[in-house]
Amino acid sequence: MIPLSVPFLNGNEWKYVKDCLDTGWISSAGSYVNQFEQQVAAYAGAKYGIACMNGTVGLHIAQMLSGVSTGDYVIAPNITFIATLNAIKYTGASPILIDLNPKTWQMDLNLLESYLKENTIEKEVEGIFYSFHKLTNKRIKAIMPVHVLGNIGDMHHLQEIATTFHLDIIEDSTEALGSLFKGKHAGSFGKFGVFSFNGNKIISTGGGGVIVTNDEELAKKAKHLTTQAKVSAMEYIHDEIGYNYRLVNVLAAIGVAQMEEFPVLLENKKRMDQFYRSELSGIGDIEFQLVSPDVEANCWLFTFKTQHMRELLSYLNDNGVQSRPFWVPMNQLEMFKEDIYVSMDDHSNQVYQTSISIPSSAGITLAEMETVVKTIKSFYSAL
């Protein structure tokens, strides 16, 4: 079976992990954690990086530090991985779900803007302006764009909306390490960006995440909150409810090695994307995700639309090509059915019903890609 997306571990991973084992520095302290944080932050063009257990907890902490709390709303796209919404719910807030642009599969910003214009009112609370939802009188505190599949929406438009409606931007850039909008890195457009390094990401630590920010105070607070809020190196004094969300040194060691390999892996992904686009263009009714000329995408997971998605999915998986459908839209999941979903035409459902992801590992070989393409072509020629 050609796998959908597996890690590529051909650098110094063994060496650095062995170093942790040899020296006993396998746990929550150790130099690889700092190194990994600095590497990711520097790469993303942010001043500070805070390593954590995974992207989900990173999103949780970023929201807490943006002041999101019980009763607030956070704006998020209706198609994302469940972790985005789980992290919102951990804070006690609720999502306002926004439908997609049917071509880029990112949040539809025109739809969002007109919704906010019609449905919010500005209020001043203790000298600070916020947008409140007219109907429910709840505060809308933050917006969480998700750079779906490593593509990016119009971040300048999103920043304008955020400024007008007093929203903190927390980027779910978990899939977008290496992606740029107008030359600026995903994760660097708002208060926080969060990256994930789980097993299927462009680089992996097995499980892991890094929160990035340019704000020194917030960076310190993020470190504090993710490490049980301990104030003294010696005494067990904690000044608030903290979390044991830290990334351990042995995983950060893998991360340091992966970051060394990252430029090569990114190039591989881009080559893969070009190959699939040129080979699959014009085959059956295949339609690619639109990437704007303003975006340089990291090409994380190759996904396309076809009306024959279900049959193709079975065909590929039966013929040694691991493939997956897209995420079920959030408004269709039981836990979020009561939440606000802003949509005119339910593009989310249409994208979900027609999209399929095909093998996209950073280490995928030309022979494997040729097999994938051949299998897809044979499916369409038999139709």
List the x/- string, 219-258, binding to ligand PLP by CB under 6 A. ----------------------------------------
Q: Which of 198, 227, 268, 354 binds ligand PLP (CB under 6 A)?
A: 198
CB of 50 to ligand PLP, least distance (A): 14
CB of 175 to ligand PLP, least distance (A): 5
Is the backbone of residue 289 left (phi > 0), alpha (psi -120 to 50) or beta? Answer: beta
Please check whether residue 61 is in contact with residue 225, taking contact to mean a CB–CB distance below 8 angstroms.
Answer: yes
Q: Residue with CB nearest ligand PLP?
A: 55
Q: Using DSSP bridges, classify how beta strands 324-325 and 168-172 pair: parallel, antiparallel or unpaired.
A: unpaired
Please check whether residue 131 is in contact with residue 362, taking contact to mean a CB–CB distance below 8 angstroms.
Answer: no
In the DSSP assignment, the letter for residue 208 is -
Measured in whole angstroms, the distance separating CA 155 from the mean position of its chain's CA atoms is 15
299/211 Cα distance (integer angstroms): 21
Please check whether residue 265 is in contact with residue 6, taking contact to mean a CB–CB distance below 8 angstroms.
Answer: no
Smaller CB separation from ligand PLP, 54 or 375: 54
Using the rule CB under 6 A, is 63 a contact of ligand PLP?
no
CB of 117 to ligand PLP, least distance (A): 27
Smaller CB separation from ligand PLP, 25 or 329: 329
Length of the chain: 383
Token digits for 301? Answer: 């997971």
Residue type, 75: I
Q: Which of 20, 61, 83, 372 binds ligand PLP (CB under 6 A)?
A: 83
SS3 32: helix
Smaller CB separation from ligand PLP, 20 or 301: 301
The torsion angles phi and psi of 320, rounded to 5 degrees, stand at 80, 15
List the x/- string, 201-220, binding to ligand PLP by CB under 6 A. --------x-----------
Smaller CB separation from ligand PLP, 94 or 198: 198
Q: Which of 5, 66, 78, 84 binds ligand PLP (CB under 6 A)?
A: 84
- Name the residues that contact ligand PLP, by CB under 6 A: 54-56, 80-81, 83-84, 146, 172, 174-175, 196, 198, 209
